Every structure is written in C-alpha cells, then in structure tokens.
Amino acid sequence: MAESSYYQPMLTPAPLKLINEHGRLQQGLFDGSVTDFNLPAFHLHSVLDKPASRLTQHFGYKQFQFVCVGGPDWLLAVAIADVRYVCSGFAYLYQQGKPVREFALLAPLGVGCLTSDSPQQGRASMGKGAKHWQIHNAASGWTLTLRAPGLQAELQLDFAGQKPLALAAPTGYNGWTYTEKNNALRVSGSLRLDGQSLDLSAARGGIDFSAGFMRRETSWRWSSINTLLDGVPFGLNLAAGVNETGLCENALWYDGNIQHLSPARFEFDRGQATPWRISTLCGEVDLTFEADFCRQEKLQLGLLASNFRQYAGFYHGTLRLRDGRVLQLQHCLGLAEDHYAKW
C-alpha cells in the first residue's frame, strides 16, 4: 500500500481552554493534551434549547480514568468512574495460568470519591485504608497508587514527550466528550503481590481520561495494547461507538511516535467471549483477539444500567506503519471491551 493511501487526519492545535469564553466546545483531533477544561463556562441546554438547571448540569457530567500496566504474561488494570449518581472503581491483576486477583469499590452519589477536571493536573481517588486507589495526573505522566488485600502498587507512567491521542467532539444533540489516551508508556516503581515483587523491566503502560456530557444511553467497543515488540515500545488504542461525528479515537504508538488510524470495526458474537476480529477502514489493522479472562458486571440500579465486559487475552495479526513496514503480533497480551451504559 502506498504511503499516500494511509489515513492522515488533519490535527488541530490543542486549545488553551476546552470551553472558550463564549461557552462553546473547541472540537477537533488535537496535536496535544488540553490542560484546562474551563467547565464553569459551559452551560448545558435541553434538546429544546432551554437552559438546564444546575442540578441537571451537575448530574449530566461524567468522567472516568483508567490505567493499565502489563508485562509479557501479566496485566494490571485500575479504573475510577464518576457518573454522579454513583462513583465506582475496579482493579484486577491478571497473570496467565494463575487465579485473577479482583477488587471493586462503590460510592453512592460519589461520597468519598474525588476526580480531577484535567488529564494533566489533579488526582482521582476513592476508597481508604486497606482498599484505596489513586491516580495523580501531571504533565510529565501519571502516578498510580493502589492498596488492596495482597496487592500493592506505586507506579509511575512517564509520557517522556510522547504525543497523546486527544480529541473533543459533539455527543448526541447537546453534549460533548473529550478523550485522551497515551499507550506504550515507560513504567517505573513497584508492584507487589502477596509480598513478592513483579518484574517491571519489560512493562509498559497506558492511560485513559474521558469526560463530558455523554449520551444518556451509550455503548462502545474498545481495544488496547501496551507492550514491547522485539524490544521496541508498541501501543494500540481502537474504539467504536463513542465518537461518531467524523472523529475517531484510533491510534498506534511505535518507538515513541504516534500514528493516527482510520475508523475501526469490531466483529464478535456477544454471546461468546471469543474470537474477535478487529480491523480498520483503510486496512492498517487486521487482528484477532482470544480472551482468557473476563471482568464483567450487569447492573440495574434505578436510573442506571450497565452491561460491562472487559477481557484480558491475546492478539494475533498485522499492523501497517506509514513507512510501509508491517508489525506482526503473535500472542500479544492486551485488553478488549464491550460496554453498554445508561447513565
């Protein structure tokens, strides 16, 4: 395939403020992170153009932060989600061929839960004592602190100047979503299971910051990889179902450089865990995914509902770089997700 046929979207300079002085969203696929959301300047309206009440605006804003760190045969995933009515978190450590350590937290109305309004400053945290996790956001990288029975982590994910995938797009009729991802990040610190340290020498990590006034009912499919390919850092983020206004949050990172990817297609049977087929419109990605573990929950809590499945498993297939090189994935550990939410 010729270089000119690859997907090459136009990037917009990252704005100083996501919401401008007129209360409007600065939308686009950005060339860097947006530090200041300027949320107080945004005023939500109903679909009939009536100003929303402060209460409606408060409960309309959602946010989640996610960190994944993995080695060749293990993977740690930690999430904090604030959907206003409730704040929830989960953490698990997957090790191939071993029992999975899994933990969850729930905070009605967000009591005891803290989230930041910026992917580059502040922190998100929930829980306390022996069951507590915190994500500290900074311009240089993120720090994850995790305390759970038998599992402790103090991990730093270093951006090291690597460009993130960052975009803001309208959502539904009157909302918007901002998302920022950065994969294949260098990891340092410590991760201990039952007092034994896991080897971080070949570990790589990824971050996910997503926030905004999302659809009342939404769903997405998602794929994520953080690894080393023959010693070279490689990361992948693919999603479908969230941003459907001409922008897509698809990219790969290889040796510190980001390559934006065309829209993704996920083919799988929801009644069965695997296999998945994942490809992109312009042919850069052609992968299969075989799940080995599933973290799932089905909730119906009054106004809220969730049908969530996040899989840890192995990818096989090919990815094409802009310079024509083909990357081969063989038994490459990563994540896949299928999620419906009513919030």
CATH number (domain holding residue 287): 2.40.370.10
Between strands 86-95 and 264-267, the pairing is unpaired
pLDDT score, position 246: 77
pLDDT score, position 188: 98
Predicted TM-score (pTM) of this structure: 0.95
Domain assignment of residue 164, given as a range: 3-342
pLDDT band for 4, please (50, 70, 90 cuts): very low
pLDDT score, position 5: 60
What tokens does 225 get? 């990889």
pLDDT, tens only, 212-233? 999 989 899 999 999 999 999 9
- Work out how many domains the chain is built from and give that number: 1
pLDDT at 304 over 80: yes
The DSSP output letter for 56 is: H
C-alpha to C-alpha distance for 143 and 336, rounded to whole angstroms: 23
pLDDT, tens only, 186-210? 999 999 999 999 999 999 999 999 9
pLDDT score, position 2: 38
What tokens does 282 get? 């312009």
Residue 266: CB partners within 8 Å, gap ≥ 6? 221, 223, 238, 240, 276, 277, 278
pLDDT, tens only, 125-168? 999 988 999 999 999 999 999 999 999 999 999 999 999 999 99
Mean pLDDT, to the nearest integer, of 39-60?
A: 95
pLDDT, tens only, 65-117? 999 999 999 999 999 999 998 999 999 999 999 999 999 999 998 999 999 98
Q: How far is CA 185 from CA 99, 164, 240, 244, in A?
A: 26, 10, 23, 27
State the DSSP H helix or E strand holding residue 137, giving kind and residue range, or none if neither. Answer: strand 131-138
